Amino acid sequence: MIRDGRALIDGVSLTLNPGEVLVILGANGAGKSTLLRCLSGELRPDAGEIRLNGVPLAAWSSGDCARRRAILPQQSPLNFPFTALEVAAMGRIPHGGPGPGDTRIAAAALAAAEAEHLAERRYTTLSGGERQRVHLARILAQLWSPLPNDEPRYLLLDEPTASLDLAHQHATLALARRWTDRNIGVLVVLHDLNLAAQYGDRIALMKQGRLLALDRPRAVLEPPLIEQAFGLPVSVIPHPEMGCPLVIPRQIAA
C-alpha cells in the first residue's frame, strides 16, 4: 500500500488463527495500525487480498462481517451522554439488538471487562481508561454469541492497553487470552515488548511497513531483531517466574 510515494504496507502476509493471540510489534510508523485498518476493511490494499474465514473480505455483508470480527480502535469518539451499559449494548446491533437479552449480554460484557460498576455512569464523565474498558465490553458483546457450527471469530485490538493502568493492562490481555478458548483469534497491536512476551502466542515484528519476523516470542524477541526494529540495544533474559523472554533496555551512551 503506497500513499504519497511512501510504502505504508509492503508484502505483508500473515494468518490469524482462531485460538491464538497474535501480537503486532514495531516502532512508531512501522505500519502496525495501517495493517489493522486493512484487516478491518477501513483501508483497501493496492495489491493482494484479505480473507475472512476463507472468503474475500469485500464479499461479506457488513452485518455478517460484524458478527465474525470486532475491532477496538485506538480512539472511539463518542460525545453523546449514553450510559456505559448503553454503549456496551451497541455491540449487539449486528444481532438485531438491543433487546432484553442483549442488555443482559452487555451487562455481562461490562463485568468481563471489569467495568460493571460503570454501567449507569454517563460515558462522557468517564476517564480515558474507563472509556477504553467500556468499548472493550462493547466489542465483547458484539462477539458474545457463538456462530452456527462454531465458526471462527476474531478480535482486532489496536493498542488496547495504551490508556490503562498496570493492573488493567494485564487484565485486558488476560481476558483476550481467555477468549481464545471460544474459537476466537485475537490480533493485538502493542508497544510493550514484555506484555507481548507474556500474552502472545506469536509475534509479528514490523519495520517500515514490512515484516521483520513472525514467530513464537522466544524466536522474535532476540536482541539483534529488537535493535533492528527499534534502534535500541537491549538484553533479553528468561522471566524469573514465567520463563518467557524478559526484555531489558540498555543504557544509551550520552
Look at residue 223 and tell me whether its pLDDT is greater than 90: yes
Contact 40, 18 (CB under 8 A): no
DSSP string, 189-237: E-S-HHHHHHH-SEEEEEETTEEEEEE-HHHH--HHHHHHHHS--EEEE
* Residue at 231 is within a domain: no
Going by pLDDT thresholds of 50, 70 and 90, the confidence category of residue 6 is low
* Residue at 63 is within a domain: yes
* Residue at 228 is within a domain: no
Cα→Cα distances 220→108, 175, 215, Å? 36, 23, 6
Tell the residue number behind the cell numbers 474507563, with chain if given.
130
Contact 62, 71 (CB under 8 A): no
* Residue at 70 is within a domain: yes
* Residue at 157 is within a domain: yes
* Residue at 233 is within a domain: no
User: 65 lies in which domain range?
Assistant: 2-215
* Residue at 223 is within a domain: no
Contact 210, 171 (CB under 8 A): no
CA 80 to chain centre: 25
Closest by alpha carbon to 227, among 196, 205, 209?
Answer: 205
Residues 204-222: tens digit of each pLDDT: 999 999 999 999 999 999 9
Tell me 29's DSSP state: T
> How far is the C-alpha of 78 from the C-alpha of 75, rounded, in Å?
9
Residues 122-135: tens digit of each pLDDT: 999 999 999 999 99
> What pTM, to 2 d.p., does this model score?
0.92
Going by pLDDT thresholds of 50, 70 and 90, the confidence category of residue 76 is confident
Amino acid at 254: A
| Structural domain total, the chain | 1
Going by pLDDT thresholds of 50, 70 and 90, the confidence category of residue 11 is confident
* Residue at 85 is within a domain: yes
Higher pLDDT, 45 or 136: 136
pLDDT at residue number 3: 57
pLDDT at residue number 163: 87
Closest by alpha carbon to 204, among 212, 71, 177, 40?
Answer: 212
Residues 15-56: tens digit of each pLDDT: 999 999 999 999 998 999 899 989 988 888 888 899 999 999
